[in-house]
Amino acid sequence: MISVVIIGKGNVATHLYKAFLNADGILVTQINSRKLTNIPKANLTIIAVSDDAIAKVSSKIKNSLVVHTSGSVAMGSLKNTTNKGVFYMLQTFSKNKKVNFSDVPFCLEAENKNDYKLLKTVAKSIGKKIYTLNSEQRKALHVAAVFVNNFTNHLYKIGNDICEENKVPFKILQPLIEETVLKIKTLSPEKAQTGPAIRNDKKTIKNHLELLNKEQQKIYKLITKSIVNSIK
Amino acid sequence: MISVVIIGKGNVATHLYKAFLNADGILVTQINSRKLTNIPKANLTIIAVSDDAIAKVSSKIKNSLVVHTSGSVAMGSLKNTTNKGVFYMLQTFSKNKKVNFSDVPFCLEAENKNDYKLLKTVAKSIGKKIYTLNSEQRKALHVAAVFVNNFTNHLYKIGNDICEENKVPFKILQPLIEETVLKIKTLSPEKAQTGPAIRNDKKTIKNHLELLNKEQQKIYKLITKSIVNSIK
């Protein structure tokens, strides 16, 4: 039996806690990061708090192996004097949406092989996709995730705005959005590109710009330029 | 039996031709747009050529109802003297990839009810999702499609570039990409937004910018600004 303490009450902490409750071989406790006076002993202590609070919370923990769950914080930012590691799950966690952990990539980092082995066993108790990334790689992945998740979602918002302004149902675009994702399962995004920018079709680009507001135009122009620059 | 002539030999024309071959009640012929001397009579003539060639090709057709398949060309750009319409399918058509027409939204426009009814019958012989859009709405939809498809795909490319530079497998991001799409089936893109920009988390944004090249930085900054501006 591996004992795990999760510190934090946010989305990541709570989804993780629930998953461990149903996992074989894991004994899990969840505690509030504001009540750190009485931390139970555990084989693994997972700090799932906001990035800014990781250093402070970790400084108060005496357990043997302490990890955080952040994509953008280096392992070295942990301030416990015992062993350190990272247990980063690359997924968006929403409060009311069930997480299917077998789809979630676990990106693990540790200071030595035994700790890594422990992290891997714990991750495998709830998940399937396990990766080893160092802090630099994880940082890069986190930035890439902002592009493919947050920024992509903002492009969906702009698409939605344009549709609403013109009384076009946004759901017409859903199959195209899904096809865009399916395509890059078999083609690189570079090879999957279509549309006026990659054809450098100046007439269509001009017509499109006329339909947009200033902020939309700026984004349209900049990404179009970047697509044109990517033509080899 | 409805007779259909498709003019063009590109991806749209060819996928459409193959679909009609298997459709009930449709008799289809495909002809090359460069051989317009002998166009067969038909109830419906579908011009599936590049935007720039639509006017010229349509001027040579005497059949009763002539439509084009472009998202960005107005119905009025057709130069036939008989009835006009639009038969626009919002999907990316690739040469070697089978198209599932039951997922494809058909956006139809016609000058009168009878023509519209004919277009709808023809669309329903291969598809399921039928929408009525006028030329202005279709133009807006086409621009929105560039944002959610071409521009989104370019963000995938940037994510891929960042991963490659740091020896991180891009496939780690695939579940997140799929989750981003799934989310907007139940939430508006505005409500689905997460990440450093919507939190206005300046520290993370600064850290991210340090990892990017100049072109990536420009895009990161502009979209982040646009997300921050969208906070109400």
Which residues from chain B sit within 8 angstroms of residue A195, using beta carbons?
146, 149-150
Q: Which residues contact B187 (CB under 8 A, 6 or more apart)?
A: none
Q: Has residue A93 got a pLDDT over 80?
A: no
For residues B129 and B149, membership in a common domain is answered with no
For residues B224 and B178, membership in a common domain is answered with yes
Q: In what order do the strands lie in the sheet with B26-31?
A: B26-31, B2-7, B44-47, B65-68, B83-89, B105-110, B129-132
Which residues from chain B sit within 8 angstroms of residue A165, using beta carbons?
140
Spatial separation of the C-alpha atoms in residues A13 and A8, rounded to whole Å: 6
Chain A's closest residue to B197, CA to CA, is: A150
For residues A174 and A206, membership in a common domain is answered with yes
Give the pLDDT of residue A175: 93
Q: Has residue A87 got a pLDDT over 90?
A: yes
For residues B157 and B217, membership in a common domain is answered with yes
Total count of domains within chain B = 2
Which residues from chain B sit within 8 angstroms of residue A214, using beta carbons?
none
Give the pLDDT of residue A231: 87
Chain B's closest residue to A157, CA to CA, is: B189
For residues A23 and A113, membership in a common domain is answered with yes
Q: How confident is the model at residue B226 (pLDDT cuts 50, 70, 90)?
A: very high
Q: How confident is the model at residue A57 (pLDDT cuts 50, 70, 90)?
A: very high
Which residues from chain B sit within 8 angstroms of residue A184, using beta carbons?
153, 156, 177
The mean pLDDT of chain B is 95
Give the pLDDT of residue B136: 94
For residues A193 and A99, membership in a common domain is answered with no
Contact between B147 and A197 using a beta-carbon 8 Å cutoff: no
The gap from C-alpha B193 to its chain's centroid, in whole angstroms, comes to 24
Packed helices A152-165 and B214-229: angle between N→C axes, nearest 10 degrees = 50
CATH number of the CATH domain containing B38: 3.40.50.720
Mean pLDDT of the A174-189 span: 93
CATH number of the CATH domain containing B147: 1.10.1040.20
First to last CA, chain B: 55
Give the pLDDT of residue A12: 94
For residues A191 and A113, membership in a common domain is answered with no
Percent of chain B scoring above 70 in pLDDT: 100
For residues B200 and B121, membership in a common domain is answered with no
Q: Has residue B37 got a pLDDT over 90?
A: no
A-B contacts at Cβ under 8 angstroms: 288
For residues B50 and B128, membership in a common domain is answered with yes
pLDDT digits (tens, 9 = 90+) for A19-29: 999 999 999 99
Domain boundary among A133, A152, A186: A133
Percent of chain A scoring above 70 in pLDDT: 100
Q: Has residue B27 got a pLDDT over 90?
A: yes
Domain boundary among A83, A110, A133: A133
Q: Which domain holds residue B69?
A: 2-133
pLDDT digits (tens, 9 = 90+) for A2-19: 999 999 999 999 999 999
pLDDT digits (tens, 9 = 90+) for A122-158: 999 999 999 999 999 999 999 999 999 999 999 999 9
Chain B's closest residue to A203, CA to CA, is: B52
Q: Has residue B97 got a pLDDT over 90?
A: no
CA distance A41 to chain B (A): 32
Q: Has residue B231 got a pLDDT over 90?
A: no
Domain boundary among A101, A133, A165: A133
Which residues from chain A sit within 8 angstroms of residue B170, using beta carbons?
144
Which residues from chain A sit within 8 angstroms of residue B140, using beta carbons?
162-163, 165-166, 168, 211
Q: Has residue B94 got a pLDDT over 80?
A: no
For residues A35 and A121, membership in a common domain is answered with yes
For residues B23 and B111, membership in a common domain is answered with yes
To test the contact with chain A by mutation, choose from B153, B158, B190, B214 the residue with the greatest count of A C-beta atoms within 10 A, namely B153
Chain A's closest residue to B167, CA to CA, is: A137
Spatial separation of the C-alpha atoms in residues B6 and B40, rounded to whole Å: 10
Task: Pick the range with the lowest mean pLDDT from A16-20, A206-210, A228-232, B109-113.
Answer: A228-232
Q: Has residue B214 got a pLDDT over 80?
A: yes
Spatial separation of the C-alpha atoms in residues B85 and B78, rounded to whole Å: 8
pLDDT digits (tens, 9 = 90+) for B157-177: 999 999 999 999 999 999 999
pLDDT digits (tens, 9 = 90+) for A183-209: 999 999 999 998 999 999 999 999 999
Look at the block and give the residue holding tokens 């206005």. B200
Asked if A146 contacts A120 with a C-beta cutoff of 8 angstroms, the reply is no
Interface ipTM: 0.89
For residues A191 and A85, membership in a common domain is answered with no
